[in-house]
Chain A
Amino acid sequence: MDPRHLQSARALRAAYAAREVGPSDVVDALLTRIARLDADLHAFLHVDADRARAEAATWDERYAGRTSPAGLPPLAGVPVAVKDNMCTRGSPTTCASRILEGWRPPYDATVVARLRDAGAIIVGKTNLDEFAMGSSTEHSAFGPTRNPWDRTRVPGGSSGGSAAAVAAGMVPLALGSDTGGSVRLPAGFCGVVGMKPTYGRVSRYGLVAFASSLDQIGPFALDVADCALLLRSIAGWDPQDSTSAQVPVPDYVAALEQGAAGIRLGVPEEAFGPGVDSAVAAALHQALEVFAAQGLPVARISLPTIEAALPAYYLLAPAEASTNLARYDGVRYGLRAAPDDLYEMTAETRRGFGAEVKRRIMLGTYALSAGYYEAYYLKAQRVRTLVARDFERVFQQVDVVVMPVAPTPPFVLGERAQDPLQMYLSDVFTIPVNLAGLPGLALPCGFHAGLPIGLQLVGRAFDEATVLRAAYAYERATPWHRERPPMAAAA
């Protein structure tokens, strides 16, 4: 494949302006690539080829007669993919569930509207664990996505489709959503950059809700600068989302040029605990040395509540999810079954949920039910306070916390799908960040037996800029971001 079609978003914009290649060339090439690779990877649930080509043609014209991308919106003519739990008007939005199979929303999510305003070409919708519940994309009703680095393994979840699409060079940018790690984990497993912004940084309007107090939409990209570009394009206050923050959006891309000098880093001792695979621990140690060599020594800190965060999350998130998913009853949209009796209609319709979703609805309903609210839900909310306080304490001493993304490298398909608790343990390092509402970024920090290992950087609320700067410094000093999965490099 022509490498000019496989560039970062920033490089593409410059290339378009320099007339080295046009948006139509790139979109055509990527659509062909998707058609060739996706039968195997299954990153996409829906590809909007006609619309993408039509939009690309428009951008061809807009770039003609220009020598620089200045004056054009920041993502003009850049192909992107969107996780299939964000509403795209008139286009299927299934959340990888039979319940919403064929549903076409009558409205765009705010982030989708912002992508369009930024000039991005939405190529298609990517696969996920059903309703974003999962850590491997194996719980999709339409089949799993495979890890481009090793197709017998999972790409991580729940935004596995978006991560795989970027890793395999199908699109330079993609959006995912992260409730307990669903952007960071697949980014780590697929060797790409992925970020969960501060809660409230990016609008949730049009994101099909999983756990309302934890969900955030975040960018996937091949490098930190592209990630910064995409984040800037979607971040910012939305009057249609009461939980979105009225905090100005800095120029994250420009911030990278500031460098990372003076940023204080810390690594919690819990990152080296017994549950962490030796390969991951080794990669982490190596990363700490890279930082130190950059003049950024990493202090030893402690986050003792990390362990408690996971069980608290598995009470809070399912509880909120159980009510968020109550609307799927066959009345107004989506699947409807057994139409004769109302109660039966609802219950039979909801058979359309997969096992993991049903399990979480059961768990969540139980945690909220009379007699158990104090013991479970309320208790979990108190633990949440402890986790937030823990990070607050740590951020008095450091500016960025360094941790693994996951305790293990990507596991084999089917290995954990039958044991929910085992699956949940993948999120041990990502969940605390959602509970505290803080920004977290994942980027590649090494390989083990050809499988990517991800590094996670966590910052203060609304301080994405510092996290990005630290990540950028690490990236510039390492070769990982230049690696491509063999199957994709050969294509």
Chain B
Amino acid sequence: MAKQTLVHDETVIGLEIHVQLLTASKIFCGCATTFGAPPNTLTCPVCLGLPGALPVLNRRAVELGLRTALALNCRVAPRSQFHRKNYFYPDLPKNYQISQYQYADHSPLATDGRLEIVVEDRRLEVGIRRVHLEEDTGRLVHDAGLSSGGSLIDFNRSGVALMEIVTEPDLRSPLQAREFLTALRRLLQFAEVSTGRMEEGTLRCDANVSLQRRGGPPGTRTEVKNMNSIRSVERALAFEIERQRTLAARGEAVVQETRHWEEHREVTFASRAKEEAQDYRYFPEPDLVPLVVDAAWIEQVRGLVPELPAARRDRFIAVFGLSPYDAELLTATPTTAAFYERAVALFPHPKTIANWLIGDVTAHLNETGRDLDQVALTPHRLSALLRLIDDGTISGRIAKDVLVEMIREDRDPAAIIETRGLRQISDQDALAQVVDAVIAEHPGPVAEVRAGKARAIGFLVGQVMKATGGRANPEAVNRLLRSRLVS
């Protein structure tokens, strides 16, 4: 499966992704990484850049970086170092960021990987240029409360472990970029490396985009920043490509610059700040010693990588007999996959559970705009519900309503059925009474059935269901009607 080659006037997109790693403490100090703490309560001399402070590298950050490198099929550098990236900005306490630079024979943590994605049923391979570790900056908040203006800084985030993933410019459309980010996010979540939420800032993406003619020289690139969801990335890229196309059509040149995406106006605009050519003056970080990763360590990390999405999906197909489509849906997130497996363990009917999760449960989640881990539905309750259908306690039709109630009221299905009196009516005598009453009330359809139009039975069944508030056992009703009307 080859990489994509360029066609006439193609777009060339590369992504630079920053991922917040799931470590309990920061990358170079022991401060907690808890989200949402009061400002500047998770700081210390190291992450505040106080005089005399020194960094010490978090082992888990390295392991999560290595885990990601393996999941992305990268080459892990046997030896790598950290570098100082020097620039002044108030959210950067030391006015240099400890990162990893790639040049000459200096390799960052990992390079030369790939992630396979599927876009419109085509498989594409996206190259990963590098994976490296660095520290996050503090958070600048513009102080609207002050009449004089001014900015406020919270250093809780300063020093949080970040992993930067840079792709090769292998993406050819905003849709591909979206699919790549979705696949990457899923991989990171399954690998338990990050929560990967753009809305929460644990996954951030900058994009580089240019237009290029086949056989022609590379076009001028612009960098697009400030997109805070995967959809944003898609829309921003679409806008930027159109903007560049328009310039080209007018014979105007694209300026190499950084552009910011404005979510509300849905445009990119050139940064207002004076663009100085940045000279980061990279040099090896003297306060940190080199990182040497040997084969033994790599194997140890490999052994601890959780089951990745593709493997999980394949296993679902093999073990549960699911279709590839269904298996893909059920492994969209680690939460869904775990839920499914647990439910099957409790009620071993994989296809039934799959249908309910993909069908009614998903429909409800979409309607209410929630995720599976945000609602009061457990594998235990879902399997209980399905068992109640299976043993005839309720009908499938009633179960759909019970499902919604379970989620809304955070109750067990058995409790809801009792409270609302939803038990299926299967008692022959009780049903016979209703059936006879319906037959008496609808002579027309009855006559049609007797005349051989089997379809009219459906109407009569419906009437019985209506009369019993939906609780009649449909199979039993059907049998009774047939026995009465069809000789």
- Judged by CB atoms under 8 Å, the answer to whether A and B touch is yes
8 Å CB contacts to B: which residues of A354-375?
Answer: 365, 368-370, 373
Establish whether residues A323 and B86, one from each chain, have CB atoms under 8 Å apart when the complex forms: yes
* Listed stretches A54-62, A153-161, A200-208, A282-290; interface member: A200-208
In Å, the complex CA distance between A114 and B92 comes to 31
> Separation in Å of the B347 CB from the closest CB of chain A?
51
Q: Does A377 contact B (CB under 8 A)?
A: yes
Establish whether residues A204 and B54, one from each chain, have CB atoms under 8 Å apart when the complex forms: yes
Establish whether residues A327 and B93, one from each chain, have CB atoms under 8 Å apart when the complex forms: yes
> Separation in Å of the B324 CB from the closest CB of chain A?
49
Establish whether residues A242 and B86, one from each chain, have CB atoms under 8 Å apart when the complex forms: no
Establish whether residues A332 and B56, one from each chain, have CB atoms under 8 Å apart when the complex forms: no
8 Å CB contacts to B: which residues of A89-133?
Answer: 93, 95, 100, 103, 105-107, 109
- A331-B90, A365-B281 are contacts. A323–B84 as well, Cβ < 8 Å? yes
8 Å CB contacts to A: which residues of B259-313?
Answer: 279, 281-283, 286-289
Chain B residue contacts of A342, Cβ below 8 A: 90, 151
Establish whether residues A326 and B52, one from each chain, have CB atoms under 8 Å apart when the complex forms: no
- A87-B51, A242-B55 are contacts. A327–B94 as well, Cβ < 8 Å? yes
Chain A's closest residue to B40 (CB) is A332
Establish whether residues B56 and A240, one from each chain, have CB atoms under 8 Å apart when the complex forms: yes
Q: Does A401 contact B (CB under 8 A)?
A: no
> Separation in Å of the A74 CB from the closest CB of chain B?
24
Number of interface residues of B (CB under 8 A): 30
Q: Does B153 contact A (CB under 8 A)?
A: yes
In Å, the complex CA distance between A469 and B282 comes to 43
Partner of A208, one of B51, B90, B153, B282: B51
In Å, the complex CA distance between A346 and B96 comes to 15
In Å, the complex CA distance between A207 and B349 comes to 66
Chain B residue contacts of A212, Cβ below 8 A: 286-287
8 Å CB contacts to A: which residues of B306-335?
Answer: none
In Å, the complex CA distance between A87 and B51 comes to 8
> Separation in Å of the B308 CB from the closest CB of chain A?
33
Establish whether residues A373 and B52, one from each chain, have CB atoms under 8 Å apart when the complex forms: no
Chain A residue contacts of B86, Cβ below 8 A: 323, 326, 368
Establish whether residues B52 and A369, one from each chain, have CB atoms under 8 Å apart when the complex forms: no
Partner of B52, one of A206, A242, A319: A206
Establish whether residues B95 and A320, one from each chain, have CB atoms under 8 Å apart when the complex forms: no
Partner of B283, one of A95, A109, A373: A373
In Å, the complex CA distance between A326 and B95 comes to 6
Q: Does A250 contact B (CB under 8 A)?
A: no
Establish whether residues B283 and A377, one from each chain, have CB atoms under 8 Å apart when the complex forms: yes
In Å, the complex CA distance between A329 and B95 comes to 8
Chain A residue contacts of B95, Cβ below 8 A: 323, 326-327, 329
Q: Does A241 contact B (CB under 8 A)?
A: yes
> Separation in Å of the A95 CB from the closest CB of chain B?
7
Chain A residue contacts of B49, Cβ below 8 A: 327, 332
Q: Does A450 contact B (CB under 8 A)?
A: no
Chain B residue contacts of A208, Cβ below 8 A: 51-52
Q: Does B48 contact A (CB under 8 A)?
A: yes
Q: Does B53 contact A (CB under 8 A)?
A: yes
Number of interface residues of A (CB under 8 A): 41
8 Å CB contacts to B: which residues of A323-348?
Answer: 323, 326-327, 329, 331-333, 342, 346
8 Å CB contacts to A: which residues of B23-54?
Answer: 45, 48-54
Chain B residue contacts of A243, Cβ below 8 A: 54, 286-287, 289
Q: Does B459 contact A (CB under 8 A)?
A: no
In Å, the complex CA distance between A332 and B93 comes to 8
Interface flags for A211-243 (1: CB within 8 Å of B; 0: not) read 111000000000000000000000000011111
Chain B residue contacts of A205, Cβ below 8 A: 52-54
Interface flags for B91-106 (1: CB within 8 Å of A; 0: not) read 0011110000000000
> Separation in Å of the B149 CB from the closest CB of chain A?
9
Chain B's closest residue to A328 (CB) is B51
> Separation in Å of the B390 CB from the closest CB of chain A?
59
Binding site for B on A (CB under 8 A): 86-87, 93, 95, 100, 103, 105-107, 109, 204-209, 211-213, 239-243, 319-320, 323, 326-327, 329, 331-333, 342, 346, 365, 368-370, 373, 377
Binding site for A on B (CB under 8 A): 45, 48-57, 84, 86, 88, 90, 93-96, 151, 153, 155, 279, 281-283, 286-289
26 A–B pairs (Cβ distance < 8 Å), ordered by A: A86-B52, A93-B51, A100-B51, A105-B45, A105-B51, A107-B45, A205-B52, A242-B54, A242-B287, A242-B288, A243-B54, A243-B287, A319-B283, A326-B94, A326-B96, A327-B49, A327-B51, A327-B94, A331-B90, A331-B93, A332-B93, A346-B88, A369-B279, A370-B279, A370-B281, A373-B283
Q: Beyond A326-B94, A327-B51, A332-B93, list 7 extra A-B contacts (CB 8 Å).
A: A106-B45, A106-B50, A206-B53, A242-B57, A242-B288, A327-B95, A333-B51
List of 8 A-B pairs having minimum Cβ-Cβ separation, nearest first: A326-B95, A212-B286, A368-B281, A213-B286, A208-B51, A206-B52, A327-B49, A370-B279
